[in-house]
Amino acid sequence: MSNLNTGMVEKYRNNFLNEVEANVEEGEWVKMCMQCGVCSGSCPLGPYWDHPPQELFMMIRAGKREEVLESTSMWMCTSCYNCLVRCPRELPITHIMHGLAHYATRLGIEPKGQPTRQFAQLFWDNLAKNGRVNELWLGVNLYFMNGFVNGIKVAMGMAGIGLGMYKSGRLSIKELIGGHTVKDKSGFKAMIKKAQELESARVDK
Amino acid sequence: MSKEYSFYPGCSSQEGASSSNYLKSVQSMCDVLDIKLNVIPDWNCCSASIGYCGGGELPRLALSARNIALSEKHNQGQDIVATCAACWLATKETQERLDDDAGLMDETNQALAEAGLKIENKTKIRHMVEVLIEDIGYEEMGKHVSKPLDGIKIAGYVGCQTNRPFGIEGESFENPKYLDKFIETLGAEPVEKYDKKVSCCGGALAFSEPEKSQALIKDIIEAAYDGGADMIVTPCPVCQMNVEVYQDKINATYGTKFNMPVTYYSTLMSVAYGKNSKQSGLNGQIIKAKKLEEVASK
Amino acid sequence: MADEKKIAVEKKIGAYICNGCGIGERLDSSQLETTAKRDGKAAICQQHDFLCSEAGVKMIQDDIDNEGVNRVVIAACSRRAKTEAFAFKDVVVIRSNLREGVIWVRPDEDDQRETTQEMADDYIRMGCAEAKYANIPSASGQQSVNKNILIAGGGISGMTAALEASKAGYPCTIVEKSSALGGATAQLYKKIPTRAPYADPEDTGVDAMIAAVEADSNITVFLNSTLTNTAGAPGRFTADISTESGSTETKEFGAIVQASGFTPYDANNLPEFAYGKNKDVVTQMELEALAKTANGGAIKRPSDGKEVSSVLFIQCAGQRSTKAGHLEHCSGYCCSASIKEAMYFKDQNTAIDTTVLYTDLRTPGAGGENFYRSGQNKGVIFTKGIASEVVDGANPTVKFKDLILDEDVSMEVDLVVLATGMVANAGQPTRAEITLSENEAKEAGTEYKVSVESILNLDYRQGKDVPHMTNGFADSHFICFPYETQRTGIYTAGPTRRPMDTRQAMDDATGAAMKAISEAENAGLGKAAHPRVADLSFPSFRQEGCTQCKRCTVECPFGAINETEDGYPEFNESRCRRCGTCMGACPVRVISFENYSIDTVGQQLKAVDIPDEFDEKPRILVLACENDAYPALDMAAQNRLEYSAFTRIIPVRCLGSVSLSWITDSMNSGYDGVILMGCPSGDDYQCHFVKGSAMAQERMSKVGDTLETLSLEKERVQTYEISITDIQKVPQLINEMAETIEKIGMSPFKF
């Protein structure tokens, strides 16, 4: 268990709802759920969630801290915002799902092997490096994220697609060396660093 | 006099990137409609909808805030226009969040200061289709049609993020009509009651959860075939890519024989406005849009 | 004076045919005129192109003034249209419906002209026949004006009714059983909010209201008092008000508001929740007392005085359940009450854990949803689940099934609150119900005793209190006519009528006070109450024909008819709603109204021209309730929905007023089919006279035998339940009858 995680458990004395309200993006809305279930019924990947949003909200209220944060559920969110626009209470459900995923990651208790979790981290690392996404490297990293041998297999499977993209001018080999980037890289990185510091200070408080 | 906007092309529209053909057709379209796009100098990625894992709230907001600040500095007084759904959504969301929360605004400016920037947050954030509907208008859009897309039946696939959570003014979340109106304006026929119009293609999860996403995509394409569509048109780069590029895989998994071209609204417009195949970005199609090619080569 | 009018000179019929709204183009007016004069015996018949215009109305008024016309037959639109234009004073006004009844329901085609004209001719004949047998009603002379309003109950509903009526200038008397005003609301710490933003509990306002009542010279209050006898009728009720000490005062009233409130459900019926065993399991009302004691400070639990740090509310405790001894209904206020009570804790200390265990959170009223959100905002946890047991212990432990997470949960808390429901203080069952229970008990070898005290002690043969409806509440028709009971002039308000919170009770009391005022005034003029407002007619009977069968007294839905010592009916006209159910009940046809009788309908159906069997022109008689079915037929006409040209429609006051003699007369006259259209009956009845349509259903179930003795097919008489919205259905039913006749053939009874 990470230090931050232990600290949080101490701090909130198992009052998970309070912890979520204080630390999860848009978490203050969780208590306003009225348990109608429209979110769960509107989710395109609904059947794949161990606990659909409605249930996650109830679990947070019931203090099921580990079950929620270690769950793969919110990593099933495709960010389609269907739940959000349909929620009769107008809760920012999509954002709360992202927020829970991020908070679990911050505490280091997120489901490590979850593919979306891995891809999402790759995406962030990719953009944070140059300020812009390098699609080729993103793809390469994605295919090799589960080790070299497996990566070759996946890459072979996706080769047709990559070739199609390449042929149609939508995948550039130039990206492998250098590629797109913001010019003010140092300013960009300083900005991100500062934002991260400010946010950490808020959570650690 | 041409209309000027502060343009945020986004990562996928860059040269050699997955929706570079989108940018090409947008440029052709704007050329005809006398729209001038001034790229935001040194813009950065918005982190899209998948950046939440690594980036917390504030780092993500800082990304879009930097773009707004740059626009306010260099393209003063111009509305920011994005062509990518995720870029538009992230930027608009940032603007809203910062407007609502003075504390966040303050912290964001502290971060921006590290890059020598400051955000006023007074710039309007718009999607290209908003510009077309609200600033140009269907009538004006129709006037420039020199090669009407007669006899082509098109499924208008709006998808998620151009539609939710913000959507286009005056349209419903469950059945937005503007793409169908675009299609009609250009002389083509929209698929009535296209029931996957606002369904999700899996978005970024097409990479991480390919089987689940491809099942969603299969339904989107199938519904277009059911409606008698010759092709699908969409305003979103992720939708375009997901729906177009996995068709072989889906065919292999499900035994289907999909070969459905998927283009952007701007592709249709460029062709209808008399631009050639290359100018319209048709060479960027993996599944060739043959009916559009025919019109373009007329 | 009334008698003078009745002697009134010969009946002179004036028939007036309108040619407007297309009637003139579609029908042969001169033919109609001939019919009116020849068959209808109209002394005068005139046509006008625009009868409801000033000139048209003046033409009629001139004939009334100068020619002595006292029976006016208007052959124009439906009786429901242009009522103000055709409101002639001191004459009988009859409407022959040529527009909605004829031209709008028939196609404008040449080959249809003949049957359409026949329809119109018949309606003229029917109108003239009705005119001949109808008289001008006038009040009985029994009436008297009494503006005093009696209010039974001095809770929030009773006090509101008194203050509202007093403000309108009507003196009120409150009779309160306990030693103080305020009722259940006075026992509350705070009430559910009544004003935006509906976010926090509000002061009850009871003290201020009591002060206002006491300061009002128009309001008299009797404390420690009950009603030991209530007799009479609207406008002339007399009530014995008896105090605990034994003195009795008799006072007279024009109308009564019953605001007798509720009794909290007895939680001792819930041993599964350890009530009575564990002191820290309390009801909502008991929590109010704890909160009152705390008065904004920390709430302490009963067992050991410990400050409560966790509390769980069990919703629907002993209610919304079909288990024996439980209440079947939802009491409507308890979810909001639990939110309010949870706020007592949260507002004092946000760290107190408050959980509301619910299955369906129901917060009715304008601010209900806001209040629920406010509760969530304050951190009250709402858990969807069903409690199965409260385990006794130093701290009670609630065992429940979480319905969202689908798991069994045990939760130990400092205090458990049971949201039990409301039992109406509605008094005793009717005499008929008591007799039934007594008989059942006798058969079972036991004895039945009425366990509740009467509220009103009515001196009515039908029972001591107003009849109860679903789940023991005293209401008659909560959708269409709130506050009305089945006893005219007696209006219920607050939780005796249906479960509700303080705010709703105050609204209710205001409505009931208004009803009481209008009935005191109407009764003073001898006019009917809702829905035949201002009708002056009342039932009378020919004593020499009466067989003292008592059907009228038993079947009257409003308890309006008592019996004399000789066993004859005694009509209390101001209790009467003029539905005519007594007339329909009377087997010897001796009951009638001046303007509605066996003859006014019977002669109409006989006036219809019945063609020869071989003409193949059947006749279908429709007796349609004027409240729902007739408007539905009118609306079908407005929508130009067609029905058979062989139809002849007669509106009736209520299906309950339909005399079986009309059915046999029509069969004997050669009608081929008869359709009765009344309001839905049963538990969710829509009958404007409560039981009328149900009585008719009952009576018509026996018509089959009569038809058999005449060797007629049963299908020839059909009874349907029609709602006012059944616009598409009514023409269909008529056309189905036309098809049926085509199938089974014409009636053999044509002469």
Same domain, C325 and C430: no
In single-letter form, the type of residue at position C340 comes to K
Stretch A125-145: mean pLDDT: 79
Q: In chain A, whose CA is at the least distance from the CA of C406?
A: A55
Q: Which domain holds residue C618?
A: 610-751
Q: Which of A121, A123, A199 has the CB atom closest to B57's CB atom?
A: A199
Same domain, C642 and C708: yes
**A35 contacts on C by Cβ (under 8 Å):** 382, 384, 404
> Over the stretch C453-478, which tens digit does the pLDDT of each residue have?
999 999 998 999 999 988 999 987 76
Same domain, C430 and C419: no
Report d(CA B298, CA C99) in Å as an integer. 66
Partner-chain contact C383 A55, CB within 8 Å: no
To the nearest whole angstrom, how far is the Cα of C378 from the nearest Cα of chain A? 9
Contacts of C261 (CB under 8 A, 6+ apart): C153, C155, C157, C183, C184, C425, C494, C495, C496
Strand partners, C241: C227, C249
The DSSP result for A48-73, as a single string, is G-SS-HHHHHHHHHTT-HHHHHT-SG
Q: What is the pLDDT of residue C265?
A: 97
Q: Which of B16, B49, B59 has the CB atom closest to A196's CB atom?
A: B59
Listed in order, strand segments (DSSP E) in C606-734 are 620-625, 647-652, 673-678, 717-721
Same domain, C49 and C125: yes
Worst-scoring range by mean pLDDT, A41-50, A178-187, B111-120?
A: A178-187
Same domain, C696 and C740: yes
Q: Does residue C569 register a pLDDT over 80? A: yes
User: What is the fold of B3-128?
Assistant: Glutathione S-transferase Yfyf (Class Pi); Chain A, domain 2 (1.20.1050)
Stretch A33-44: mean pLDDT: 96
Partner-chain contact C404 A58, CB within 8 Å: yes
Please say whether the dihedral angle defined by the alpha carbons of residues C597, C598, C603 and C606, taken in this order, is positive or negative: positive
Q: Which of C373, C377, C405 has the CB atom closest to A62's CB atom?
A: C405
pLDDT band, very low/low/confident/very high, at C3 (cuts 50, 70, 90):
very low
Q: Which residues does chain B have with pLDDT short of 50?
A: none
pLDDT band, very low/low/confident/very high, at A146 (cuts 50, 70, 90):
low
Strand partners, B82: B8, B127
Q: What is the pLDDT of residue C1?
A: 39
> Over the stretch C252-263, which tens digit does the pLDDT of each residue have?
999 999 999 999
Classify residue C177 by its DSSP letter: S
Q: Which structure tokens are listed for C6?
A: 């009745």
Same domain, C60 and C120: yes
Please say whether the dihedral angle defined by the alpha carbons of residues B67, B70, B72 and B78, taken in this order, is positive or negative: negative
**B213 contacts on A by Cβ (under 8 Å):** 78
Classify residue B168 by its DSSP letter: -
Stretch C373-378: mean pLDDT: 97
To the nearest whole angstrom, how far is the Cα of A54 from the nearest Cα of chain C? 8
Among A42, A118, A124, most B C-beta atoms within 10 A, so best to mutate, is A124
Q: Which residue has the higher pLDDT, A136 or C588?
A: C588
**C384 contacts on A by Cβ (under 8 Å):** 35, 58
Q: Enumerate the domain spans of chain A.
A: 3-112, 115-198
Residue with tokens 């001034």: B38
Q: Where in chain B is the domain with CATH 1.20.1050.140?
A: 3-128
Among B49, B52, B108, B196, most A C-beta atoms within 10 A, so best to mutate, is B52
For chain C, percent of residues with pLDDT exceeding 90: 89
Q: What is the pLDDT of residue C4?
A: 46
Same domain, C730 and C639: yes
Q: What is the pLDDT of residue A150?
A: 66
Partner-chain contact A55 C404, CB within 8 Å: yes
Report d(CA C730, CA C708) in Å as an integer. 27
Q: What is the pLDDT of residue C110?
A: 95
- Residue C309 touches chain A, beta carbons under 8 Å: no
Query: What residues 136-195 of chain B have any CB closer than 8 A to a CB of chain A?
Result: 160-161, 164-165, 167, 173
To the nearest whole angstrom, how far is the Cα of C409 from the nearest Cα of chain A? 10
Strand partners, C71: C13, C92
Q: Does residue C327 register a pLDDT over 70? A: yes
**A32 contacts on C by Cβ (under 8 Å):** 373, 376-377
> Over the stretch C396-412, which tens digit does the pLDDT of each residue have?
999 999 999 999 999 99
Report d(CA B190, CA C448) in Å as an integer. 76
We find that the CATH architecture of domain A3-112 is Orthogonal Bundle (1.10)
- Write the Ramachandran bin of B82: left for phi over 0, alpha for psi from -120 to 50, otherwise beta: beta
User: What is the fold of B146-296?
Assistant: Rossmann fold (3.40.50)
- Residue C373 touches chain A, beta carbons under 8 Å: yes
What subunits touch chain B, counting only 3 or more CB pairs under 8 A?
A
Q: In chain A, whose CA is at the least distance from the CA of B239?
A: A80
Query: What residues 222-281 of chain B have any CB closer than 8 A to a CB of chain A?
Result: 245-246, 248-249
To the nearest whole angstrom, how far is the Cα of A32 from the nearest Cα of chain C? 6
Partner-chain contact A61 C402, CB within 8 Å: no
Q: Does residue C2 register a pLDDT over 60? A: no
Partner-chain contact B56 A76, CB within 8 Å: no
In single-letter form, the type of residue at position C85 comes to A
Q: What is the pLDDT of residue A176?
A: 65
To the nearest whole angstrom, how far is the Cα of B140 from the nearest Cα of chain A? 32
Q: What is the pLDDT of residue B157?
A: 98
Q: In chain C, whose CA is at the least distance from the CA of A89?
A: C373
In single-letter form, the type of residue at position B40 comes to I
Residue C336: CATH number of its domain: 3.50.50.60
Residue C737: CATH number of its domain: 3.40.50
CA distances from A201 to A194, A196, B284 (A): 11, 8, 47
- C with B: touching (≥3 Cβ pairs within 8 Å): no
Q: Which of A32, A58, A89 has the CB atom closest to C405's CB atom?
A: A58
**A127 contacts on B by Cβ (under 8 Å):** 11, 44-45, 47, 51, 63
**B53 contacts on A by Cβ (under 8 Å):** 101-102, 105, 117, 120-121, 123-124
Average pLDDT, chain C: 94
What pTM was estimated for this model as a whole?
0.88
Q: What is the pLDDT of residue B117?
A: 97
In single-letter form, the type of residue at position C132 comes to K
> Over the stretch C497-556, which tens digit does the pLDDT of each residue have?
999 999 999 999 999 999 999 999 999 999 998 889 889 999 999 999 999 999 999 999
Q: Does residue C317 register a pLDDT over 50? A: yes
Query: What residues 54-73 of chain B have any CB closer than 8 A to a CB of chain A?
Result: 54-59, 61-63, 66
Would you call A116 helix, strand, or coil by DSSP? helix
- How many other C-beta atoms lie within 10 A of the C-beta of residue A101? 28
- Residue A196 touches chain B, beta carbons under 8 Å: yes
Q: Does residue A35 register a pLDDT over 80? A: yes
Partner-chain contact B52 A98, CB within 8 Å: yes
Domain final position from C110, C136, C162: C136
Q: Does residue C610 register a pLDDT over 80? A: yes
To the nearest whole angstrom, how far is the Cα of B36 from the nearest Cα of chain A? 23
Q: Which of B47, B112, B205 has the CB atom closest to A124's CB atom?
A: B47
**A54 contacts on C by Cβ (under 8 Å):** 404
Q: What is the pLDDT of residue A46?
A: 93
Same domain, C106 and C158: no
Same domain, C297 and C367: yes
Q: Does residue C685 register a pLDDT over 70? A: yes
pLDDT band, very low/low/confident/very high, at A143 (cuts 50, 70, 90):
low
Q: Which structure tokens are listed for B158?
A: 């709006």
What subunits touch chain A, counting only 3 or more CB pairs under 8 A?
B, C
Among candidates A87, A100, A108, A91, which has minimal Cα distance to A43? A87
Among C350, C404, C406, most A C-beta atoms within 10 A, so best to mutate, is C404
User: What number of C-beta contacts closer than 8 Å exist between A and B?
Assistant: 215
To the nearest whole angstrom, how far is the Cα of B197 from the nearest Cα of chain A? 13
Domain count across chain C: 4
Among candidates B6, B36, B1, B3, which has minimal Cα distance to B122? B6
Stretch C427-433: mean pLDDT: 93
Q: Does residue A191 register a pLDDT over 90? A: yes
- A with C: touching (≥3 Cβ pairs within 8 Å): yes
Q: Does residue A82 register a pLDDT over 60? A: yes
Listed in order, strand segments (DSSP E) in C329-426 are 353-358, 381-391, 397-402, 407-412, 415-418, 422-424
Please say whether the dihedral angle defined by the alpha carbons of residues C323, C325, C329 and C332, taken in this order, is positive or negative: negative
The DSSP result for C410-435, as a single string, is EEE-SEEEE---EEE---PPPHHHHH
Same domain, C271 and C416: yes
